[in-house]
Amino acid sequence: MRIRDNVFERSPLDSISGPVPNDAVLDGAQSAPVQARWKPSRFNVQATTAEGWLLLWNTYTGAMNAFRPAKRETILGLISRKGTAGSGGISGYFAQRGYLVPAEADELRRVQYAFGQENHRSDRLELILLPSEDCNFRCTYCYESFRRGTMRPEVREGIKKLVESRAGSLRELTVGWFGGEPLYGMEAIDDLAPYFAEIAERAGIDYFSHITTNAYLLTGEVVDRLLAWRITDFQITLDGLPEDHDRHRPRRDGGTTFQTIYDNLARMSERDDEFSVVIRVNFAQSNVPGLEKFLELLRARFSGDDRFTLSFHAVGRWGGDNDANLDVCGTGEAQAVRMRLKAAARALGLRVTSGWRPGAALGTQVCYAVRPYNFIIGAHGDLMKCTVDLDKKDRNLVGKLRPDGTLDLDVDKMALWTEPAFERDTGCQSCHMLPACQGVHCPQIRMDHDKAPCPGVRRTAKREMIDYFQAKQAAEAGPGSALPGAGIETADAALR
């Protein structure tokens, strides 16, 4: 009787020695080992090179593998719709990489969970600050109105109080400097940048800061200050040969700008500091003919320097007063020009960004405006979400920064920008790119045109996978290499 009473004080399962599996049978019968059943992930993308290599990329995990031609049919059989069984070997490896998922897995639900998990983070803060809303340039394709100058002192104090109030809970702080031209408001950067670096150090926050600047004012002394304040990532635009660039990007008084920018970049290349510069090249029909000659000009100074990367973008009609006069390229033409310029730049030893890269996975193609922890703060304290809409559209004015550092937000406007739009878009739900873009690559497109804002890589992924793989083969040990620096695995050991 005493033993029976003890079940109310201690679980009878505690008398079983060793770990008890969930499916344990207490009468001593042995259960058979469970054989895992797998199905191919719906987020696999595959491409085949001219030599027969099979490239496999999963947009949920970001994994990419390259398989030799002799293994191609084996791999295709493994990821066929009929699925497979097994718990180790190649099945286990493919499950780890994400190419196979449990037969019962609901991958759409996984994306829904990941979206909510990211959007409800409270340990991350991303600020895009406008130190000045005016600019010393008047670029032909610019969409900004330049109604305000340097950020007001009371706004800067409000930003400091906002960060101070959040410092105890933050793990990550990202600050982007935008404009206008941010260096036109150097007074605000001088005030805020040292503060961010200091509080991040004091509170143990992972801190990253970047700046989008036309670089006309980026003298050596300014670079010294920015690097000291941990602003180490730069985007700087050069639109081709001097005559083309100066036509696209004149000073506000009509003067030339190319040589000053180029000289500032050249002086940066002579430094030993660690930093990164994306040289953005905007192209339209008028400057395309000279761009390959322009790449030759860059080769002499920047070839082989991994701190400098080229990025090619088609000029668009982005809402400026001069939109009707822009000689923009059509979608197909722009894609062809971009691919040609990338190939030409790589052939010259210049580093090039790509719409695709190994590791492109959950959320990597999601617009910053979608994240509730990301805000643009204007010179007068306006809170915005999109750097194209800025204050031109009421929907983008989502609130105001108060002097005490609190955010006075319009809940309905915030909900408009941060909604999981893919949940009401069946096209997005069936797309292989869903984990990466989550249907919100550019929420502005969905608002303006009521269509899915697909990233360009959705159309070009296979071609870009092949280009990337072939470039890495040439740069490293050649065919047969495991390509460790490429983020690509051959997985030969798992196939044995």
For residue range 183-233, what is the model confidence (pLDDT) as tens digits? 999 999 999 999 999 999 999 999 999 999 999 999 999 999 999 999 999
379 and 258, same structural domain? yes
pLDDT at 239: 98
Residue 14: inside a domain:
no
**Which residue blocks in 6-106 are alpha helix, DSSP H?**
72-78, 89-97
- Check if the beta carbon of residue 309 is closer than 8 Å to that of residue 278: yes
270 and 186, same structural domain? yes
Nearest alpha carbon to residue 367 among 450, 439, 475: 439
- Check if the beta carbon of residue 90 is closer than 8 Å to that of residue 392: no
231 and 120, same structural domain? yes
191 and 70, same structural domain? no
56 and 149, same structural domain? no
pLDDT at 31: 46
List CB contacts of 6: < 8 A, sequence separation 6 or more. Answer: none
98 and 123, same structural domain? no
E strand segments, 402-459: 407-409
Q: Which of 71-85, 218-232, 274-288 has the lowest mean pLDDT?
A: 71-85
Average pLDDT over residues 11-35: 54
Residue 73: inside a domain:
yes
97 and 121, same structural domain? no
Q: Answer yes or no: is pLDDT of 259 > 80.
A: yes
Domain boundary among 379, 394, 409: 394
Q: Give the tokens for residue 409.
A: 């937000």
The total number of structural domains in the chain stands at 2
- Check if the beta carbon of residue 64 is closer than 8 Å to that of residue 465: yes
361 and 315, same structural domain? yes
Domain boundary among 338, 367, 394: 394
What confidence tier does 295 reach under pLDDT thresholds 50, 70, 90?
Answer: very high
Q: Answer yes or no: is pLDDT of 456 > 80.
A: yes
Residue 29: inside a domain:
no
Q: Answer yes or no: is pLDDT of 87 > 50.
A: yes
Residue 439: inside a domain:
no
What confidence tier does 477 reach under pLDDT thresholds 50, 70, 90?
Answer: low
Average pLDDT over residues 459-469: 87
pTM for the complete prediction?
A: 0.87
E strand segments, 3-78: 37-40, 44-48, 54-58, 64-67
Residue 377: inside a domain:
yes
Q: Answer yes or no: is pLDDT of 354 > 80.
A: no
| pLDDT, the chain, mean | 90
Q: Using the 8-state DSSP alphabet, how is residue 482 labeled? A: -
Residue 25: inside a domain:
no
Nearest alpha carbon to residue 212 among 192, 189, 183: 183
232 and 186, same structural domain? yes
155 and 80, same structural domain? no
Q: Using the 8-state DSSP alphabet, how is residue 132 labeled? A: B
121 and 97, same structural domain? no
What confidence tier does 13 reach under pLDDT thresholds 50, 70, 90?
Answer: confident
Average pLDDT over residues 402-422: 97
Residue 421: inside a domain:
no
Residue 208: inside a domain:
yes
Average pLDDT over residues 33-58: 90
DSSP 151-195: PPHHHHHHHHHHHHHHTTT-SEEEEEE-SS-GGGGHHHHHHHHHH
Average pLDDT over residues 473-488: 52
What is the CA angle 237-467-283, rounded to 5?
A: 25
Can you give the residue range of the structural domain that contains 96?
37-105+461-474+486-495
Pairing assessment for the beta strands 407-409 and 397-401 based on DSSP bridges:
antiparallel
Please tell me the distance from the alpha carbon of residue 174 to that of residue 156, in angstroms, as a whole number.
Answer: 16
90 and 65, same structural domain? yes
Q: Answer yes or no: is pLDDT of 491 > 70.
A: no
Provide the 3-class DSSP secondary structure of residue 318: coil
pLDDT at 288: 97
- CATH code of the domain in which 302 resides: 3.20.20.70
Domain boundary among 343, 367, 394: 394
pLDDT at 162: 98
pLDDT at 302: 96
